[in-house]
């Protein structure tokens, strides 16, 4: 009889335990995103580019700050979800000041800015902290469609600015498009009410392919960015 009572107590406790668990969260949202990052690149070269030339070029180049803007759709089903949409991304690098070969008193420096339209698909792994505060880990990929790349040259002579000009792209330059990237980050969400939330996401993005179609006689660069994105999003899903 005692064993039977214990069995019924355990049987009744199961639905009570399930009822006490938090309800699964189902949400859908659209959001406006703005991001700032420090961009840089990993340089490589074809078989026709010497190791000395790669090292020399790498020593002259440095990262550049950039921005991104996006319109995103996000879906969440309990602890897992995804993000997609479209982003505008500007990234690139700087080339340090150096002398012209024929006129050493004149010097030049370049800034390279590449613009892409990015289509992401990112998985989000969610964890609720409180009713309003949530964190998530993001891992995904994106396809970058090349819009344009601009090289701006600044020329000085004896320390005085002489000219700033936009250089035309070499007609033999073949920009790669699309380029696949790996995206990852950690986000903090704060609900601002029933329908709105603010998300802050430190993130890292690495282009898995070079910015140019591979050729033996040219250098190539895999862009990457480390930055922070801020998203204002509006919910239109429901909590189940």
Is 16 part of any domain?
no
The whole-angstrom separation of Cα 211 and Cα 219 is: 10
Is 169 part of any domain?
yes
Look up the pTM and report it: 0.82
Determine contact, residues 43/220, Cβ cutoff 8 Å: yes
Under 8 Å CB-to-CB from 75, ≥6 apart: which residues? 27, 28, 29, 81, 82, 237
Domain with 47 in it:
25-235
At 22 the pLDDT is 52
At 15 the pLDDT is 42
Is 38 part of any domain?
yes
What pLDDT band is residue 20 in, cutting at 50, 70 and 90?
very low
Q: What is the mean pLDDT of residues 207-225?
A: 88
The pLDDT tens digits of the residues spanning 36-53 come to 999 999 998 777 778 888
At 202 the pLDDT is 95
Is 111 part of any domain?
yes
Is 58 part of any domain?
yes
Is 1 part of any domain?
no
The pLDDT tens digits of the residues spanning 149-206 come to 999 888 888 777 778 888 888 777 889 999 999 999 999 999 998 899 999 999 999 9
The whole-angstrom separation of Cα 125 and Cα 82 is: 9
Is 205 part of any domain?
yes
CATH number of the domain within which 170 lies: 2.40.160.20
Is 199 part of any domain?
yes
Determine contact, residues 226/37, Cβ cutoff 8 Å: yes
The pLDDT tens digits of the residues spanning 66-104 come to 999 999 999 988 889 999 999 999 999 998 877 777 776
Q: In total, how many domains does the chain have?
A: 1
């Amino acid at each position: 009889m005692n064993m039977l009572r214990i069995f019924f107590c355990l049987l009744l406790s199961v639905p009570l335990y399930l009822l006490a668990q938090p309800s699964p969260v189902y949400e859908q949202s659209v959001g406006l995103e703005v991001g700032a990052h420090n961009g840089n690149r990993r340089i490589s070269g074809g078989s026709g580019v010497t190791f000395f030339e790669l090292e020399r070029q790498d020593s002259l180049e440095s990262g550049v700050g950039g921005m991104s803007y996006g319109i995103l759709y996000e879906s969440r089903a309990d602890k897992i979800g995804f993000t997609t949409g479209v982003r505008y991304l500007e990234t690139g690098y700087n080339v340090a000041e150096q002398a012209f070969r024929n006129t050493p008193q004149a010097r030049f420096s370049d800034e390279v800015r590449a613009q892409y339209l990015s289509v992401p698909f990112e998985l989000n792994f969610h964890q609720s902290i409180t009713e309003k505060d949530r964190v998530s880990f993001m891992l995904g990929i994106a396809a970058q469609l090349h819009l344009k790349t601009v090289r701006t040259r600044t020329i000085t002579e004896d320390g005085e600015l002489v000219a700033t000009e936009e250089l035309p792209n070499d007609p033999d330059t073949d920009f790669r498009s699309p380029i696949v990237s790996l995206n990852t980050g950690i986000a903090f969400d704060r609900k601002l009410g029933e329908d709105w939330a603010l998300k802050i996401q430190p993130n890292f993005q690495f282009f898995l392919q070079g910015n140019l179609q591979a050729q033996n006689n040219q250098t190539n660069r895999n862009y990457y960015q480390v930055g922070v994105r801020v998203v204002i999003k509006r919910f239109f899903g429901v909590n189940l």
